[in-house]
Amino acid sequence: MDESALKRALRRLFAAPIATLLSGFGIGVLLALPAAGYLLLGHLAGLAQGAAATPELTAFLPVGAERKTALAVEQKLKVLPGVAKTRLLAREDTLARMKASGAGGLADALAVLPANPFPDAIVVTPADDEPATLESLAATVRQWREVEHVQVDADWARRLAALNRLLKTAALLLAGLLGLALIALVFGTLRLQAVMQRTAADGPDRPAFLWQGVLLGLFGGLTAWLIVVATIFWLRLPVAELAGLYGLELTLALPSAREVAALLGVSALLGGCGALLAGGWTGRRP
């Protein structure tokens, strides 16, 4: 792959400008879809972390339990592995909060009760919000005699984890299929040029083929970057307005320099793979 091979590759690309532009645009569209999906996954992950509260585990004591029992349970919870922090909800505070809410005559109903119906509770914030960790912690606390009931908020964590895995799998599958399509596109483009330009005495110009594939891939990568940037600018304001209606903050950010470099590197690599296939195939007579 010396300088002459690069010059031959450039000359062939410029000799067919329409075909080069169409091929580059096609590669750009193929690359823009997984690139946009990758950015979307990043934005959704950040949005989920900012919008969803950390799942909590609540340990309820019997209604007649003494305060020293609640404090002892809280101390036991603090030393458990995987516990980030604890918070004691005194039954007096719960009663005052319920009376202050006044929802549906609740304050009047509580006023006629002879005693406080609410138990002491300890709210536990786990260090790890994985569903398996929460369930393991809940199973441990349920075995304590001092605790009457354990409520764990893990359903949303399961759904979020499942959705994240599904989106990642779909993105990888889409990227793989479109990568194969990109290789096929480069292969077909260079194969057609080789058949049209080669004479019976010519042999396959593999170095020039490789450069053509790499250059086509880079051109497609730049096209994909432009498509993604244009799409972000076009959708930034509508997406921000839609998120604001749900009380969320979501601003579409442009791809970073590292992400752009990765996109160009992958596009050049895939273009080179297609060129290598084309160079090997053109060694056979059609």
Domains of the chain: 3-51+158-281 (no CATH), 57-153 (3.30.70.3040)
pLDDT for residue 72: 92
Q: How far apart are CA 258 and CA 176, in angstroms?
A: 21
H/E element, 46: helix 17-51
Least Cα distance to 239 among 35, 53, 40, 48 occurs for 40
Q: What is the pTM of this model?
A: 0.55
Q: For residue range 62-86, list pLDDT tens digits in order.
A: 988 888 998 999 999 998 888 888 9
Distances 166 to 39, 43, 266 between C-alpha atoms, Å: 16, 16, 23
Provide the residue-wise pLDDT of the chain in tens; the chain has 286 residues: 445 777 877 887 787 788 778 888 888 888 888 888 788 777 776 665 554 456 788 899 998 888 899 899 999 999 888 888 899 988 888 877 777 765 556 666 666 667 778 888 999 988 876 777 788 888 999 999 999 989 877 666 566 667 777 877 877 887 788 778 777 777 777 666 665 555 433 555 677 778 888 888 899 899 999 999 998 899 888 888 877 776 667 778 888 899 899 889 988 888 888 777 766 554 444 4
DSSP state string for 243-278: HHHTT----PPPPPHHHHHHHHHHHHHHHHHHHHHH
pLDDT for residue 144: 92
Q: How far apart are CA 260 and CA 255, in angstroms?
A: 6
pLDDT for residue 17: 82
Q: How far apart are CA 122 and CA 70, in angstroms?
A: 8
Beta strand pairing call for 121-126 and 57-60: antiparallel
The burial of 23, by beta-carbon neighbours within 10 Å (0-12 exposed, 13-18 middle, 19 or more buried), is given as buried
Tokens of 132: 């398996």
